[in-house]
Amino acid sequence: MLQVRRLVTSRMWKPSLSVGAWALGICIPFYIKDPFFLHVLNIIFIGITMALSWGILARTGYISFASNAFLGIGAYTSAYLVMQLHIYYWIGYFAAGAMAGFFALFLGKIILRLKGIFFVLSTFCFAQIMLRVFRTAEHITKGADGITGIPTPILPFIGSLESHAQFYVLFYVYATFVVIFTMRLYNSNIGREFKAIGEDMFVAESMGIDTTRRKIIAFVISSIITGLSGSFHAHYTSFISDTTFEMTKSIEVMAYNVVGGMGSIIGPIIGVCVMVPLPEFLRGFVAYQIALYGLILILILRFFPAGIWGTIRRAHSTIPAESKSLRLSYELTKEFKLGFGNPIRHNRETLLECRKISRYFGGLAALTDISFSIRAGEILGIVGPNGAGKSTLFNVITKVLSPTRGTIIFEGKNITGLRPHRINRMGIARVFQSKVLYPEASVKENIVRAIVARSGFNEIKDFFGLERRKHQVILEQTQQVLELCGLYSATGELPKNLPHGFQRLVGLAVALATKPKLLLLDEPITGMSLEESDIIARILENLHQSGLTIIMVEHNVNFVMRICHRIMVLDYGQKIAEGTPQEIRRNPEVIKAFLGG
Amino acid sequence: MAELEVRNISLSYGSVPSLIDVSIILETGKIVVLLGPNGAGKSTLIKSIIGLARISEGEIWYNGKRIDRLQVHQIARCGIALVPEGRRVFSNMSVIENLYVGGYQQTKKEIEVKMGETIKVYFPRLIERKRQIAGTLSGGEQQMLAIARAIMSGPKLILLDEPSLGLSPLMVKEITEVIGRLNRERKVSIIMVEQNTQLGFQLANYIYLLEGGHIRLEGITAELSKSEKIVNAYIGTVECRNSS
Amino acid sequence: MSLSLFGQIAFNGIVLSSIYVLLAVGFNLVWGILGIFNFAHGHFYMLGAFLTWYFISSLGFNFYIAFIFSGVCIFVMAAIALKGVLGPLRENEFVCVISSLGLCSLIEGLVSAIFGGEARIVNLPVSGVINFGGVFLSFPRLATLLISLVVFSVFLFIVYFTNFGRALRATGSDPEIAQVQGINISRVYFITFCLGTLLAGLGGIVACHITPLMPHMGIDFSLKAFIVVVLGGLGSIPGAVVGALIIGLLESFISSLVNPMVSIIVSFMVVLLILLVKPSGLMGIERIESR
């Protein structure tokens, strides 16, 4: 069975135990009748759903301060529809989620292109604006007076919910749904892509993940759940006003995650269980309640910055010592051809062409009018002394930077303005030195996932067992890549535990898994021994035989001379020579550029 | 004991080894040049002396005192100054302010003296432009400023990281002169990283050739300038691919 | 609108701006140089006012002594906040921010518990009004303006004309190379944080006769600071001044002519716009865009 598909991932619980515990949990109201106790638990369940939904977006690395806004949007939508328009509760409920989702879609398209703190702050602004809107849009929200007497949800056969116990059961089930949904999401391809985006957005983008769409999806899902929770909140507490949705709500949601431990599912749950009842415990201190709450938060973060669950996980995880046992003298047992490489194109058509590429930084010209092309099946090396612009040129080709002037043409199509994931889909792959998309997964997993993303694998069909043949193909291709890259002895290891040389190979393998026509390498042998460089050279030769076209930027001219068919030399941002290795070696201009003077 | 002794240091950036068992010696008042192709580890070596990079093995001794465990500003106060790669002047501050920051550890009197004696003498153009914002200076002028700034602290040793990078041949000539004069007239020891071999041979008393994180070659300038090895380190040996 | 009404609103706006300058410049220092987004910045503003009130009403100090004592207390408390809470978490930006939120609760709670939760007013020891061509310039407001200007001038002097100020700017410009010049950047960070927070505290002292401060308003002032800094540009002191002027005047005009609520909405929309169009603010340092 493909490792990619897992139903309920559990190293920690055994399935039967968890179902039993769950059943016990739902029976609690039969034994404990104290309404206040049940009330606190109800708040905890809603808190769990809020914390988890926030965590879905946080997984992509985007922190939102706007949970309170979406909670309010859901609450007001539901209350308005049910009370003013007399709509059946459950339609109002789903409408609440939908409304939150629409807001998120609209907002996300605008602000998700902001990075880091700027995104955070813009969600903050949005939340502040919505708070004022809640206060002033009186015909819907009744402003500061708020909406009172919100009716409780109506369940078929049971009628209108009345007691805390009934709400308990409803919220328990709801929280269960959200927990299971989140677990499934995190285990699906799209959920893993969220994590990859959070790890390193640019690497994810370069590996063909459409990060913009994914981020919007995460934001919308997160907001829908929050909106649904908002509806429940309103119809449970029967009163909402703008003060119900103050910024403290957002801050609490973040505190649940941070205190409990971000990035997991158990973490936020623990966070909620700790932080929600805390004010109750502190009630005895009357005047100092708020101060103590703050102090406890500070202390927890100071000594457990990874959160409670995060710290527990770290203490218990056995980090295997760097696998030094993997000898660096791996053997390529046979000269191997990559099976899914594109057929060798000896017809010499131009694959990539760069026309008059210039790049300025302010007034400084880093690149001036660089033009070159590479034909299918060639290996091209780009060399030059320090500061010549090699890295800049590489960054322009790989879309880290955009050229100030000039165009890039791939297979006849202009790709100058395209985003990295588009050009990856078109067949250009860049090798990252030691970054993989899924650092928590083994080498083999990383390659499998990359291939899966490229093979038109349909998750839904697979669920019904209709993609078995694809499984086989994918596994074969994974094998090919692993063997070609000399990784056979390291398949089960985590990339970060591997010795440096192996990590380079993993980077290469992952790039190959995206089935490129053109491979771009940035200093492939920096920091590697002569033996290791030798292995890389042989792998590249095999790739060439399999039909791949390769461009590499390298300092080590020796290596480039050995492998490349053609070499281009840069100096001071300009092309000063281009030709075969022999021609370059004898070129006095080149020697002068390198040795100076 | 020599002024500076780097003993068998090794350093890795993450899992990438950058320096492997490197040792160099600097005698007082001499100029040592580190040559080598890009990525050889020359800059890393300089950074580890000033403390901007932490070594994982080995020791660094300066004037009989072990400095590799100290903090950067403490190492600076031992009398070591750095002219970093890429100039790195404080671009939003004026020329004169950059110089004042250079003299941060000095008293007002000492700064006055430095300005009068050293800066005026070696860098007259800077004095002309003293109120100009450093970010608006040309590359060559910024390099001069970076060197002047380094002198302000009255160092006994100046580390220079690729001072000729990105400069016109004329500027390179000027810089070379200034460095030479500083060494001769002010008795300042110098360790210089250079990719430009000609410049290196011109100034050096002693040369180390680095490649791939190792010292490949070392010696007195006269012998070394004839060596084929140097060319090969940069541009490779004759074994080339035959065109396909 | 009559000229005198315009003048009145403008005057109030300028007084407001002078307070915001102190608030924002301090925030700029802390965020720009240390990289810490301190939500509790506004709480120190509020704390300054409460401490002064306490010194005056309970200990019988006169205003000037109370002013100085409060300043010293704020400086010390900032040092404790940095060493104990924010400093150790500087590496992890997000956890640090949440931690500063904890700090907000802590300060707010302590202030409420010790000093009581009612609004406190500290009256400046001047009174009276000048009539300047139809515009009524009250002495207390003039005093606020004056004190703010004096404090800001002292601050500017420190930053631009002292050795420490040069070390501060060098550290903000390039911390690595600043170290190489012999500057102990840990110490610079420490003093910078305390200085920036102190500015907020002093702002609170001179402001609270205009708007009575309550413990829970701390966050609102942090937001004000943030709005001004984003508008003016992170890392730019002139930017903070310009931003403060714009926001102060904008607030004064919209609050008087329309509705205080609207002015807040407008402020946030302005910020959102800036974040989308030119995140580095009006005068901030444009960083080279490379992903």
Mean pLDDT of C38-61: 90
Count the neighbouring beta carbons within 10 Å of the beta carbon of residue A311. Answer: 16
| Mean pLDDT for chain C overall | 88
- C239 HSE (CA, 13 A, CB side): 24
How large is the C-alpha radius of gyration of chain B? Answer: 18
Q: Which amino acid is at B192?
A: M
Q: β-strand B214-220 against B206-211: which pairing, if any?
A: antiparallel
The predicted structure's pLDDT at residue A368: 92
pLDDT at A332: 58
Q: What percent of chain A has pLDDT over 70?
A: 90
pLDDT band for position C279 (cuts 50, 70, 90):
confident
Write down the pLDDT at residue A330: 54
The answer to which of A93-107, A171-185, C14-28, C205-219 has the lowest mean pLDDT is C205-219
Question: C31 and C38 in contact (C-beta within 8 Å)?
Answer: yes
Given pLDDT bands bounded at 50, 70 and 90, which one contains residue A326?
low
**CA distance linking residue C8 with residue C19, whole number of Å:** 17
Subunits next to B (3 or more Cβ pairs <8 Å) are: A, C
For A349, A516, A579, the CA distances from A412, given in Å and listed in that order, are: 10, 16, 23
Would you state the pLDDT for residue A52?
97
Q: Would you call C276 and A297 a contact, using CB atoms and an 8 Å cutoff?
A: no
A466 pLDDT more than 80: no
Cα distances (angstroms) measured from residue C287 to each of A111, A356, C17, C36, C233 = 19, 26, 28, 19, 12
Residues 6+ apart with CB under 8 A from C113: A287, A288, A291
**CA–CA–CA angle C182, C184, C188 (5° rounding):** 130
**B12, B210, B235: best to mutate for the A interface, most A CBs within 10 A:** B235
Q: Return d(Cα A93, Cα A182) in angstroms, integer.
A: 20
Q: B93 CB near a chain C CB, below 8 Å? A: yes
Give the mean model confidence (pLDDT) for residues B45-59: 94
For residue A1, the model assigns a pLDDT of 39
Q: Are strands A239-240 and A147-148 parallel, antiparallel or unpaired?
A: antiparallel
Using the beta-carbon criterion (under 8 Å), do B236 and A558 form an inter-chain contact?
yes
Q: Judge whether residue B133 has pLDDT over 60.
A: yes
- Mean pLDDT within C78-93: 91
Distance between CA atoms of B114 and B108, rounded to whole angstroms?
10
Helices A116-136 and C218-232 pack at an angle, to 10 degrees, of 120
Q: What is the pLDDT of residue A6?
A: 46
Q: How far is CA A383 from CA A91, B169, B221, in A?
A: 65, 22, 28
Q: Say if the Cβ atoms of B88 and C185 lie within 8 Å.
A: no
Q: Which residues pair with B81 in a beta bridge?
A: B158
Q: From CA A15, how far away is CA B78, in angstroms rounded?
A: 65
pTM recorded for the entire structure: 0.86
Q: What is the CA radius of gyration of chain C?
A: 19
Higher pLDDT, A322 or C144: C144
Q: Higher confidence at residue B155 or residue A342?
A: B155
For residue B243, the model assigns a pLDDT of: 41
For residue B185, give every residue at least 6 positions away whose Cβ sits within 8 Å of its Cβ, in sequence order, or none: none
Higher-pLDDT residue of C122, A71? A71
Half-sphere exposure in the Cβ direction for B72 (13 Å, CA) = 22
Distance CA B37, CA B210 (A): 8
Q: Report whether pLDDT(A76) > 90.
A: yes
Give the model confidence (pLDDT) of A227-278 as tens digits.
999 999 999 998 998 889 988 899 899 999 999 999 899 999 999 999 999 8
pLDDT (mean) for C218-237: 87
* B200 in Cβ contact with B192 (< 8 Å): yes
Tell whether A480 lies on the interface with B, counting CB pairs under 8 A: no
A336 pLDDT band, cuts 50/70/90, is: low
The pLDDT value given to residue A523: 87
Write a three-state SS string for C257-279.
Answer: HCCHHHHHHHHHHHHHHHHHHCC
Lowest mean pLDDT, pick from A12-26, B185-199, C140-154: A12-26
pLDDT of the residue at A130: 92
Dmax of chain B from CA atoms?
70
Contacting A residues, span 534-573, partner chain B, CB-CB under 8 Å: 555-566, 572
What is the average per-residue pLDDT within B144-172? 90
Q: Please give the residue that has the higher pLDDT: either C198 or A363.
A: C198
The answer to whether the Cβ–Cβ distance between B38 and A434 falls below 8 Å is no
The mean of the pLDDT values for chain B is 87
Q: DSSP assignment of C31-97, as one string?
A: IIII----TTHHHHHHHHHHHHHHHHHTT---HHHHHHHHHHHHHHHHHHHIIIIIGGGTTSHHHHH
**Residues contacting residue A284 through CB under 8 Å, at least 6 positions apart:** none
The whole-number average pLDDT for the span A529-537 is: 83
ipTM here: 0.88
pLDDT confidence of B14, banded at 50, 70, 90?
confident
Query: Which residue(s) pair with B215 in the sheet?
Result: B210
Q: Is C273 on the interface with A (CB under 8 A)?
A: no
Contact A49, A177 (CB under 8 A): no
**What gap in Å lies between CA B150 and CA C167, rounded to an integer?**
15
Instruction: Tell me the CA distances in angstroms from A176 to A13, A42, A252, A499, one per residue in order.
Output: 15, 13, 21, 42
Average pLDDT on B215-241 reads 70
B43 and chain A in contact, CB less than 8 A: no
Would you say residue A100 has pLDDT above 50?
Answer: yes
CA-to-CA distance for A116 and A201, rounded, in angstroms? 11
Return the residue in C95, C96, C262, C274 with the most chain A beta carbons within 10 A, the one to mutate for interface testing: C95
Higher pLDDT, A282 or B29: B29
According to the model, what pLDDT value does residue A461 have?
67
Assigned token pair, C237: 């002191």
Predicted pLDDT of residue A2: 42
* B51/A contact by beta carbon, under 8 A: no
Dump the DSSP string for C210-248. Answer: TS-B-GGGHHHHHHHHHHHHHHH-TT-HHHHHHHHHHHH
Residue B201 has pLDDT above 80, yes or no: yes
Residue C177 pLDDT level (bands cut at 50, 70, 90): very high
**Average per-residue pLDDT in chain A?**
85
Q: Which pLDDT score, from 0 to 100, does residue B166 have?
A: 76
What strands, in cross-sheet order, belong to the sheet with A364-375? A364-375, A350-361, A405-410, A413-414
Give the closest-approach CA distance of C157 to chain A in angstroms: 31
More confident residue, B48 or A284: B48
The runs of H, that is alpha helices, within A66-88 are 67-83
- What is the pLDDT at residue A149? 86
Residue C289 pLDDT > 50 = no
Q: What is the pLDDT of residue B24?
A: 94
Contact A447, A478 (CB under 8 A): yes
pLDDT at site A458: 65
User: Least CA distance to C112: which residue of chain A?
Assistant: A287
In the predicted model, what is the mean pLDDT of residues B104-117?
A: 86
- Both structure tokens of A240: 């909402």
Q: How many CB atoms lie within 10 A of CB B94?
A: 17
Closest of C177, C173, C205, C188 to residue C82, by C-alpha: C188
